């Protein structure tokens, strides 16, 4: 398991992922173990799944509304919130 000691290393780990190396496991000391899975973007598939599943549509709509209300954060915001002390 890879050890990540900074937000820069975390970004390098994520950026290095591709379709052949789509799963990465790493440890952030003091926080825990993570598994990241890269999935290809498929807007049509997501859209069709939401249209076909009313419960999924409800969940997506709720999630979007909560994000607008400030109850969530983007990946960029998460990375910005990490500091060097989080990697000790």
- Provide the pLDDT for residue 43: 61
In whole angstroms, what is the distance from residue 42 CA to residue 49 CA? 11
> Would you say residue 20 has pLDDT above 90?
no
Taking the whole predicted model, whether its pTM rises above 0.75 is answered as no
- The three-class DSSP label of residue 37 is strand
- Provide the pLDDT for residue 88: 76
In whole angstroms, what is the distance from residue 46 CA to residue 59 CA? 13
User: Is residue 45 within 8 Å of residue 53, measured between CB atoms?
Assistant: no
- Provide the pLDDT for residue 35: 94
- Provide the pLDDT for residue 42: 63
- pLDDT tens by residue, 33-81: 999 999 876 666 778 888 888 999 999 999 889 888 988 878 888 888 8
CA angle 5, 30, 70 (to 5 degrees): 90
Q: Rounded to whole angstroms, what are the CA distances from 79 to 12, 15, 43, 59, 61?
A: 12, 13, 25, 25, 24
């Amino acid at each position: 398991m890879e050890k990540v000691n900074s937000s820069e290393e975390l970004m390098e780990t994520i950026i290095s992922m591709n379709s052949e190396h789509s799963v990465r496991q790493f440890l952030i000391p003091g926080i825990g173990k993570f598994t990241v899975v890269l999935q290809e973007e498929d807007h049509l598939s997501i859209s069709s799944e939401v249209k076909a599943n009313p419960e999924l549509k409800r969940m997506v709509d709720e999630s979007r509304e909560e994000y607008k209300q400030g109850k969530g954060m983007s990946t960029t915001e998460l990375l910005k919130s990490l500091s060097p002390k989080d990697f000790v």
